[in-house]
Homo-oligomer: A and B are copies of this chain.
């Protein structure tokens, strides 16, 4: 049982009826809902952040946890080129997380929310064994304009933002800029809007589970394959970390042939790493050899 086959089975079971206001359901970074009579589509994403799975109490201060919970959701909004609007937070708290911890957790979350222009509009609370956050973030895009995973076409160029593997390196070494990167990721909101408005990206998603797995997902959704070369690596990170490491929260996107993509957007490197091809859906080839999707899957092996 892997995440992928749970999701595949679910997608087959959940029929979205014709004429539904759900424009995109299970399987993209966000669900897309079209309000009646409006000019915008609404985006919705949920992301878990669990002690012992996504972070450790010993190494993540409460404000870091609060911030990261929200950034994970914001990154999905960024991936679709959206503007974040509001969030809801379900929070499970163990006994050791007293008033001070909770206060600092919300400090981190609310500071990040303020910077992103997001209002905390609700949620739920419960007593749990470990800290458990589930963030819901809602965003908007002009009607029909969301960047989706399923728009990539053969011949289009594949790009990523930033340099990969920093979060995996940080998790391994717990030192330096890579550790900072792991603990304080950024949601590429301005870049997402730029991809939608200016570059007219044809597909996009955020890199949360590793390039090898996430690019495969984009290719599966678009029914295409991909040929890539090695992506730029975070200083000190190995190629393995850059290819398979999770939680970089950079954006992966495709553009039509001939699109002029600048080398940088607001100080963030944009790198062409390959091209979309016809052929076996989901297949990713690195320097001529198949790349196994070894990115992070919560359920692999069970």
Complex partner residue of A1 from B13, B85, B99, CB under 8 angstroms: B99
A53 is an interface residue with CB less than 8 A from chain B: yes
Least CB distance from A247 to B in Å reads: 13
A43-86 interface mask toward B, CB cutoff 8 Å, 1 = contact, 0 = none?
Answer: 01111101011100000000000000000000000000000011
A123-148 interface mask toward B, CB cutoff 8 Å, 1 = contact, 0 = none?
Answer: 11111111010101010100000000
A31 is an interface residue with CB less than 8 A from chain B: yes
* Contact A48:B86 (CB < 8 A) given known A14-B110, A38-B36, A39-B36: no
Complex partner residue of A134 from B17, B90, B129, B140, CB under 8 angstroms: B90
Do most interface residues of chain A lie in helix, strand or loop, or is the interface mixed?
mixed
Least CB distance from A80 to B in Å reads: 12
- Asked if residues A129 and B127 are in contact (CB atoms below 8 Å), the reply is no
- Asked if residues A22 and B121 are in contact (CB atoms below 8 Å), the reply is yes
- Asked if residues A44 and B1 are in contact (CB atoms below 8 Å), the reply is no
* Contact A1:B98 (CB < 8 A) given known A53-B127, A92-B48: yes
Bound together, the chains give a CA A26 to CA B125 distance in angstroms of 12
Complex partner residue of A122 from B46, B88, B121, CB under 8 angstroms: B46
